[in-house]
Amino acid sequence: MSVKRAVVVPVSEAEAIRKELLKMEVLDHERKIKESTLDGKDFLEIPVICEITGMDTIEQHSPEYYGKSQSLRTRLEGTIPETDLKLIPSGWHVVGKIIVVSIDERIEEHKHLIARELLGIYPYCHTVVRDLGIEGQFRQPKREILEGTSTETTHKEHNCLFRLDVTKVMFSKGNLYEKNIMSKAGSNETIVDMFAGIGYFSIPIAFHSKPSKIYAIELNPESFEYLQENIRLNKVEHVVEALNGNCAVLTPQGVADRVLMGYVGTTHEYLEYGIRAIKSTGGMLHYHETVPEKLMFERPVSRIMEAALREGRQVEIRECRKVKKYSPGVWHVVVDAWIE
């Protein structure tokens, strides 16, 4: 068996180095980039096809591969009509041991066959659910079970464990970079997470950054149950205090070095509460918003400035970032603002 090598790099430098390795044509595209921890610090292992001079190259003993070499479309060739084959999904999410996939309604009749083939590609998974969007006050996922029975699973991300039911709560794998950033923030700080969900940000921060205190607020009772379970699962009970209810009511005032507003939708309606939570000596606000491309980053910045003005506070915009495309012409963005 040939030696599988990888370059070990700090998370903050990973994207720049990955692009450099791509230009050098030395990336191994069959293996996944892996998270690793050394002496309490987080790194990424970027798979390469050879030893790289001037970089810390290791031999990977437990490499992680992408899906089987045979694609879903290839597995279905000759089984369904060619016209339907063109509509077969090319991507999906694996959350713990559950596969979440969107299937075009024009190939509805093949949905169970597609699910069985996906389980063939990922034999360690036990359930396939079809993603049908989001609904209701709590933006709960609307999903159909295609194969399997259990919709509860434990997903590991950034060395943290998240227990969830994929039919009851969302788990986005698309903002891993943002989670990585947050997991390095907040050492010895008091943090308020106003839209905690099942602990998407609170858990990694508590686990990796060693803050003094995190107030994790969640309105949805089902998400709150998983938030409590995930706090216990990751052994951060001494750091995270979970609060069930509306953040407009429960957000403490004048206590936070850092405030997370990680919800998208009506987040701007709660800006005043987030700003009030920040200490009089100042602190950082991480504000998320979905915004039309033509208003990026103008609208979220102006909303923060206006809310701060109403509260008699000063603002310094530190950084604006894209997280991911939310829908056609709309982006999920983050603004980091220092509030005085």
The CATH class for the domain spanning 72-150 reads alpha beta
Arithmetic mean of pLDDT, 295-307: 96
The residue with greater pLDDT, 31 or 165, is 165
Nearest 5°: the CA angle 226, 34, 13 is 105
Measure the CA–CA gap between 287 and 279, rounded to whole angstroms.
17
* Strand 93-95 to 98-101 pairing: antiparallel
| Residue 118 scores a pLDDT above 60 | yes
The DSSP output letter for 104 is -
User: Tens digit of pLDDT for each residue in 212-247?
Assistant: 999 999 999 999 999 999 999 999 999 999 999 999
Q: How many residues does the chain have?
A: 340
Amino acid code (one letter) for 256: A
Q: Where in the chain is the domain with CATH 3.40.50.150?
A: 175-339
What mean pLDDT is reported for the chain? 90
In this prediction, residues 117-123 reach a mean pLDDT of: 90
Q: Residue 5: which pLDDT band, with cuts at 50, 70 and 90?
A: confident
Q: Within 10 Å of residue 144's Cβ, how many Cβ atoms? A: 13
Q: Which is higher by pLDDT, 89 or 172?
A: 89
Of the candidates 147, 33, 160, 42, the one whose C-alpha atom is nearest the C-alpha of residue 96 is 160
Mean pLDDT over 269-280 rounds to 98
CA 96 remoteness from chain centre: 14
Residue 69 pLDDT? 47
Residue 173: predicted pLDDT: 64
Question: Which residues have CB under 8 Å from 302's CB, separation 6+?
Answer: none
Q: How far apart are CA 273 and CA 278, in angstroms?
A: 9
56-60, 191-195, 273-277: least confident range: 56-60
Q: pLDDT band at residue 70, thresholds of 50, 70 and 90?
A: low
The CATH label, of 3.40.50.150, 3.40.50.720, 3.40.605.10, 3.90.870.10, for the domain at 175-339 is: 3.40.50.150
Examine the pLDDT at 192 and tell me if it is beyond 50.
Answer: yes
Looking at residue 67, its pLDDT comes to 54
Q: How confident is the model at residue 36 (pLDDT cuts 50, 70, 90)?
A: confident
Q: How does pLDDT run across 243-256, given as a tens digit for each residue? A: 999 999 999 999 99
Q: What is residue 194's predicted lDDT score, i.e. its pLDDT? A: 97
**What pLDDT, on the 0 to 100 scale, is given for residue 337?**
98
